[in-house]
Structure 1
Amino acid sequence: MPEHIPQEPGEFTGRTALVTGAGQGIGAAVATALAARGAHVVATDRDAHGIDELAAAHRGAITPRVMDVTDHRAVTTVIGDVVRDHGSLDLLVNVAGILRTAPVAELTDADWADTFAVNTTGVFHTSRAAAAHMTARGSGCIVTVASNAAGVPRTGMAAYAASKAAATMFTKCLGLEIARTGVRCNVVAPGSTDTAMQRSLWADDEAPQRVIAGDPETYRTGIPLGRIADPQDIAEAVVFLASDRARHITLQELYVDGGATLR
């Protein structure tokens, strides 16, 4: 008889997850989805407001911790505390990210450096610290939320796309190095998703329809499924890859963009 593979809703019962960028948007949706399936979630963000609200809405299931992923000492401390307080760290989901848009000719050194500090170096900090604990116990899962911009050039988004591409390849390289220990590393690549980051790009009420339709002048295809994703759509993909249902999946990149990249 094949082994039983746990299914939702309690498939993460007894497991501890750490989610970065959990104060809003995709990070909050991931934290909520994991908690709903039984995980104890440590929700981190550099701003306390969003994660405090999330913890209040899910008392006992979500613990808020202020953490800046660009600060490797803070990351090491928080992950060490999680292992000490909960006995293990079973899941890490890297969601924290920032977006600075500009044509390359107008992109400042600060915008480039800040984007990589959060989107790439932040993933390095958290994944390195988490992997040390996971490999020692011989199990665990890391999921990095990157972007479909990591695989398709975007005008005005060079820093963001490059940082997400770097985070994607880093996650795969880490996954290859530690696969023999039983730790899996995968990437979820969202397209346009209804978050504060996405809405910051919209100038008027017609912007969502323009995103769906595409824009030939910026060499951008539309979204074949005809809708912009909800954060929950991305969270469901993360939950699947983090679950035992995906126990034989590692080093993979799952695009969740409604077909926008035609992959």
Structure 2
Amino acid sequence: MELTGIESTVALVTGAARGIGAAVTATLAGAGAQVAAVDRDTGTLATAVTKLEAEGMAVRGYAADVCDSTAVDALVRRVEDELGPIGILVNAAGVLHTGRAVDLTDRQWNEIFAVNAGGVFHVSRAVARRMIRHRRGAVVTVASNAAGVPRTEMSAYAASKAASAHFTRCLGLELAGHGIRCNVVSPGSTDTPMLRAMLGAGADPAHVIEGAPDAYKVGIPLRKLARPQDVADAVAYLVSDQAGHVTMHDLYVDGGAALHV
């Protein structure tokens, strides 16, 4: 199926320097979107943008911290001044700290929520205010299957992703009358730098596929990790015309790991 409605649209993608955000940026740009790639890691972002530009894609890098609402408002204003009205927003920025809930520090909890929930709020609010004027747009938040399934040593991450997912669905309800769709993509274990860092250097991801009964974690029925591209393809579908009657949906892309109903 050929996706339509992406070409010539301005798309803003957060967390665009690596992992899922980088895959989303490349996928949307490859489909003809003009992408504003946003990240606070300016060095990695510049490298990623330069590579896509060399491949003939319309991508421009913007350094911003999604935790800073003033900076976000300025970012969105600048993107629309330079590129035009934003028609697609993908919230892919995220951080992870693992550990038992009783051992988490205030700093870890606050940072996770500042990025994973606060960042989604700041960027979505700034973009939605402008989308309302144009009476069109599509928003996708990249959450996690951990938002719907309890995970040991991931309480803060799971809670922050649950907050961002439900916020996005509520936003979708409020914006539906303006012709704006808001959806969620919830990946499971995906082969990204974040997952590799969590597993540790040289770790074999096979145990993720097998599951961990001692941690009450089911394995992955499809017997493989997701690729960032798998998630990016789901995002591309949800922002396309082919999903024109889909809103407030949470699409799990986890190989069946959550046994999601």
What secondary structure sits across from 1:58 in the alignment?
Answer: helix
Provide structure 1 residue ranges, at least 5 long, that are not aligned to the other structure: 1-5
Partners of 1:79 and 1:205 lie apart in 2 by 40
Conserved 8 A contact 1:55-1:61: no
1:146-161 correspondence to structure 2 within 5 Å: 146-161=143-158
Conserved 8 A contact 1:54-1:62: no
Q: Deviations over 1:138-159 (max 9, x none)?
A: 0001000000000000000000
Other-structure match for 1:7? 2
1:5-44 correspondence to structure 2 within 5 Å: 7-8=2-3, 11-44=5-38
What secondary structure sits across from 1:143 in the alignment?
Answer: strand
Query: Letter of the aligned partner of 2:97 in structure 1?
Result: R
Partners of 1:129 and 1:177 lie apart in 2 by 15
Q: Deviations over 1:230-263 (max 9, x none)?
A: 1000000000001111000000000000000111
Q: Deviations over 1:38-67 (max 9, x none)?
A: 000000000112221122112251100001
Q: How many residues align?
A: 257
1:165 matched to 2:162? The reply is yes
Other-structure match for 2:98? 101
Query: Letter of the aligned partner of 1:33 in structure 2?
Result: T
Other-structure match for 2:122? 125
Other-structure match for 2:73? 76
Conserved 8 A contact 2:6-2:239: no
How many angstroms does 1:85 deviate by? Answer: 1.6
Partners of 2:70 and 2:42 lie apart in 1 by 18
Partners of 2:203 and 2:91 lie apart in 1 by 31
Other-structure match for 2:50? 56
How many angstroms does 1:205 deviate by? Answer: 4.3
How many angstroms does 1:73 deviate by? Answer: 0.7
What secondary structure sits across from 2:256 in the alignment?
Answer: coil
What secondary structure sits across from 2:172 in the alignment?
Answer: helix
Q: Deviations over 1:146-183 (max 9, x none)?
A: 00000000000000000000000000001100100000
What secondary structure sits across from 1:32 in the alignment?
Answer: helix
Partners of 1:206 and 1:118 lie apart in 2 by 27
Return structure 1 stretches of 4+ with deviation > 2 angstroms.
203-207
Other-structure match for 1:207? 204
Other-structure match for 1:256? 253
TM-score (norm. length: structure 1): 0.95
Other-structure match for 2:141? 144
Q: Deviations over 1:172-210 (max 9, x none)?
A: 001100100000000000000001110012246453110
How many angstroms does 1:83 deviate by? Answer: 1.2
Partners of 2:70 and 2:194 lie apart in 1 by 27
Partners of 2:251 and 2:130 lie apart in 1 by 25
1:198 matched to 2:225? The reply is no
Partners of 1:24 and 1:106 lie apart in 2 by 29
What secondary structure sits across from 1:201 in the alignment?
Answer: helix
TM-score (norm. length: structure 2): 0.96
Conserved 8 A contact 1:30-1:232: yes
Conserved 8 A contact 1:99-1:197: yes
Partners of 1:95 and 1:74 lie apart in 2 by 17
1:244 matched to 2:241? The reply is yes
1:220 matched to 2:230? The reply is no
What secondary structure sits across from 1:234 in the alignment?
Answer: helix
Conserved 8 A contact 1:69-1:75: yes
Query: Letter of the aligned partner of 2:209 in structure 1?
Result: I
Q: Deviations over 1:66-97 (max 9, x none)?
A: 01000001100010111112220000000000
